[in-house]
Amino acid sequence: MRSLRSWRVDAVYGEPLDGIAVVEVPADLAPLLAEAHRRLRGRPAGIHAGDGAVVEVGDAPGPGWVDPPDEVVAALESASHPVVLAGPGVVLDGAVPGLHALVSSGSLGVLNTWGAKGIFDWRSRHHLATVGLQQLDFARGGLADADLIVATGVDEREARADWRLAPVVEVAPGSLGPLAERWGRARTDIVVPPLRADLARITQAGWAAATRPLPPTRVTRHYGEVLGGGGLVAADPGVAGYWVARTFATTGLGGAQVPADPAAAGFAVACVIVAGLYDPGRAVLAVVDDLGEVHERLLEVAGRLGVPVPVEVWSADGEALDADAHRRRLEHLVATGGWSSVATDARQLDEMVAVAGPIVAWT
């Protein structure tokens, strides 16, 4: 117990262990729940596989104040068009306020990878786009036109290796606030990259469409409307995960969770279980491409723990509902739990590929 407290471990998942409070789940499912816990709670979780040892998942948040190197300040002072690339480390280290301070003091635009969705309201002038999902995201998102990329908290599983399109300074998340106190510039216009304008055009056209099956962006818009500002939509890697990561309109931090690990089937249901255990009043939804064995076992765990889990399955064989019918069914699903399937119009993906290239996430 002393060791767990020193590691700041917030909960343990897995097999029972004398003297330790454990959320009892099969050992092979424990990593999914521990990772979901880390993402939702911002604290490390532990796994007990039945051998008496607790394995920590995720590091404790980094130090809250890290003095920025002088060369980083100098690079910003000499740059005329810097752009920020932010990843999930900013969220996990609790450094979002520092990021806000920096971009406000310097009139900076921010591209975030999908693990950092929600660091800005989607309507903020600082939010340029969510990137890393498609081949042309970084180039058309403005990094090719920048004279300096300020990278912070980046996870290479989300950013891949092709984002370094201009000189780069890497800033520890804990340095963002201190950097804002050492550097700034007069308020200037933030250049909106072509990617944001094109994605917005396609997304908003889907919002207004009345076709059956619904465009994917009409479905993700319903998620935001039904779940509300404090709700949670979690998605597995895949088609549904792409559309949640790409087009769910975040208005607050932590409202959308999609993993970087391509093998993380079941992550969405695990997130909903963790949310139900620690924040039972929160409106939640899991979104998946299919219900496999891992999902069925997680749903059995949820039933034993008394946690209702609403799941929407995106499937070509799902129901081709109109907008009103989907909205009503979604409201009932979120309120009661259970699962339902929905078909979406695959043609909208062709439009996305035309402006941002093939999907490269999870490959």
Mean of all residue pLDDT scores within the chain: 95
**Is residue 183 located within the same domain as residue 203?**
no
Instruction: Note whether residue 74 is domain-resident.
Output: yes
pLDDT of residue 229: 86
**Is residue 184 located within the same domain as residue 207?**
no
The predicted-structure confidence for 133-174, as pLDDT tens digits, reads as follows 999 999 999 999 999 999 999 999 999 878 999 999 999 999
Instruction: Note whether residue 65 is domain-resident.
Output: no
Instruction: Note whether residue 270 is domain-resident.
Output: yes
pLDDT above 90: percentage of residues in the chain: 89
Instruction: Note whether residue 40 is domain-resident.
Output: yes
- Asked if residues 167 and 148 have their Cβ atoms less than 8 Å apart, the reply is yes
**Is residue 182 located within the same domain as residue 211?**
no
Task: Report whether pLDDT(2) > 80.
Answer: no
> Which segments within 137-283 are labelled E, that is strand?
148-152, 168-170, 232-235, 256-257
Rounded mean pLDDT of 257-283? 97
The predicted-structure confidence for 192-247, as pLDDT tens digits, reads as follows 999 999 999 999 999 999 889 999 999 999 999 999 989 999 999 999 999 999 99
The predicted-structure confidence for 20-42, as pLDDT tens digits, reads as follows 899 999 999 999 999 999 999 98
Task: Report whether pLDDT(62) > 80.
Answer: no
Region of residue 179 (left: phi > 0; alpha: psi -120 to 50; beta: else): alpha
Region of residue 149 (left: phi > 0; alpha: psi -120 to 50; beta: else): beta
**pLDDT bracket for residue 190 (50, 70, 90):** very high
The CATH number linked to 248 is 3.40.50.970
pLDDT of residue 136: 97
pLDDT of residue 88: 96
pLDDT of residue 34: 96
pLDDT of residue 19: 86
**Is residue 182 located within the same domain as residue 81?**
yes
Instruction: Note whether residue 361 is domain-resident.
Output: no
pLDDT of residue 219: 98
Rounded mean pLDDT of 52-75? 87
The CATH number linked to 135 is 3.40.50.1220
Residue 2 neighbours by CB under 8 Å, 6+ apart: none
CA 74/CA 277 separation, integer angstroms = 47
Residue 220 CA, distance from chain mean position:
14
The predicted-structure confidence for 283-341, as pLDDT tens digits, reads as follows 999 999 999 999 999 999 999 999 999 999 999 999 999 999 999 999 999 999 999 99
**Is residue 110 located within the same domain as residue 188?**
yes
**Is residue 36 located within the same domain as residue 131?**
no
**Is residue 137 located within the same domain as residue 171?**
yes
**Is residue 124 located within the same domain as residue 44?**
no
Structure tokens at 120: 């800005």
CA 331/CA 336 separation, integer angstroms = 9
Residue 284 has φ and ψ, to the nearest 5°, of -135, 160
pLDDT of residue 161: 77
DSSP 192: P
**Is residue 323 located within the same domain as residue 303?**
yes
- Asked if residues 183 and 106 have their Cβ atoms less than 8 Å apart, the reply is yes
pLDDT of residue 224: 96
Domain boundary among 168, 192, 216: 192
Name the residue among 235, 298, 311 with its Cα closest to residue 268. 235
Q: Give me the number of domains the chain comprises.
A: 3
Pairing between β-strand 82-86 and β-strand 109-113 as defined by DSSP bridges: parallel
**Is residue 169 located within the same domain as residue 214?**
no
pLDDT above 70: percentage of residues in the chain: 100
Task: Report whether pLDDT(1) > 80.
Answer: no
Task: Report whether pLDDT(65) > 90.
Answer: no
**Is residue 132 located within the same domain as residue 18?**
no
**Is residue 322 located within the same domain as residue 179?**
no
pLDDT of residue 63: 75
Task: Report whether pLDDT(343) > 80.
Answer: yes
pLDDT of residue 5: 76
**pLDDT bracket for residue 3 (50, 70, 90):** confident
Domain that holds residue 316: 197-356
Domain boundary among 192, 224, 248: 192
CB atoms closer than 10 angstroms to residue 263: 9
Residue 269 one-letter amino acid: V
Domain boundary among 176, 192, 208: 192
Sheet with 12-14, side-by-side order of all strands: 23-24, 12-14, 45-48, 54-57
**pLDDT bracket for residue 4 (50, 70, 90):** confident
